[in-house]
Amino acid sequence: MIVLAFVWLLLLVVELTRGVSPFLEQLGYVIWGVFIIQFVLEFVLAPKKLPYLRANWITVLGLVAPAFRALAVFRVLRAFRAAPGLRLLRVVSGVNRGMRSLGRMMGRRGLGYVVLLTALVVTGGAAAMFAFERDVPGSSVTDFGSAVWWTAMVVTTMGTDYFPRSPEGRLLCLLLATYGFAIFGYVTAAIASYFVARDAEPDGTRLGGSVELEALRVEIAALRGELAKRDEG
């Protein structure tokens, strides 16, 4: 299922940037069916149904969204297929599934996990931004490379001179900026701790407060020794 989640996201990126062949489209439907079966089984086995739905509401929406594409042969549903926000929903749900699969694959949520997760978010976000903005008049996002650059600048909180013009693009920009602010503190702390540790290692330099801490530890050991002697006496 982890592999299928990444394949599902890759197919979505290809669809948004280049379009998919009939074979890849059918492959996407097969994976979608597998995900539906998995969700139904997990829902049936879940002891508490409502909390399970609350914890997986993005997954539910992501499984419903492809139905409009699969049933687009009906005229009534063609308008829903092209409805604003439906593509964004598919991107968010696809990235969310990829994030959860990455979390299962990497047990420890360290800096490596954050880096891979950010790469996943940037790739999915760039594909979506390219799909949303490429046909908008005056857009500077004319190819996937420029979309990746724009998305990376937003996620790293650097920002760019271009502001999305489509409603989907603006909402996606808000989501990417929120993610960037969320991980910025973690990355800064990780880098700072790395350099602090390097400063303390080579020449035996002690970190600030370590001398006082060592003295306190010695004093506590001495007090324990005195208490032990009194108990023996």
pLDDT at position 58: 73
**Mean pLDDT across the chain, nearest whole number?**
76
- Residue 35 C-beta-side C-alpha neighbours within 13 Å: 29
4 with 88, same domain: the answer is yes
Residue of 162 and 199 predicted with greater confidence:
162
Decide which of 105, 128, 156 is a domain's last residue.
Answer: 105
Residue 145, classed as helix, strand or coil, is helix
126 with 92, same domain: the answer is no
| 70 — pLDDT class (breaks 50, 70, 90) | low
pLDDT at position 55: 80
16 with 99, same domain: the answer is yes
pLDDT > 90 fraction of the chain, expressed in percent and rounded: 0
- 24-28, 56-60, 171-175, 215-219: which has the highest mean pLDDT? 171-175
Model pLDDT for residues 14-61, shown as the tens digit of each residue: 888 887 788 887 888 788 788 888 888 888 888 888 888 888 777 777
99 with 19, same domain: the answer is yes
CA distance 92 to 80: 18
CA distance 128 to 172: 8
111 with 100, same domain: the answer is no
Q: How far from 10 is each of 18, 29, 166, 173, CA to CA, in Å?
A: 12, 14, 24, 21
Model pLDDT for residues 77-100, shown as the tens digit of each residue: 444 444 556 777 777 777 777 777
Model pLDDT for residues 136-168, shown as the tens digit of each residue: 887 778 888 888 888 888 888 777 777 888 888
134 with 94, same domain: the answer is no
Q: What is the CATH number of the domain that holds 4?
A: 1.20.120.350
5 with 98, same domain: the answer is yes
Which amino acid is residue 200, in one-letter code? A
Model confidence at 199: pLDDT above 60: no
For residue 228, what are the domain limits?
207-233
CA distance 155 to 183: 9
Model confidence at 207: pLDDT above 70: no
Measure CA of the first residue to CA of the last residue in the chain; give whole Å. 67
pLDDT at position 230: 77
Q: What is the number of structural domains in the chain?
A: 3
146 with 228, same domain: the answer is no
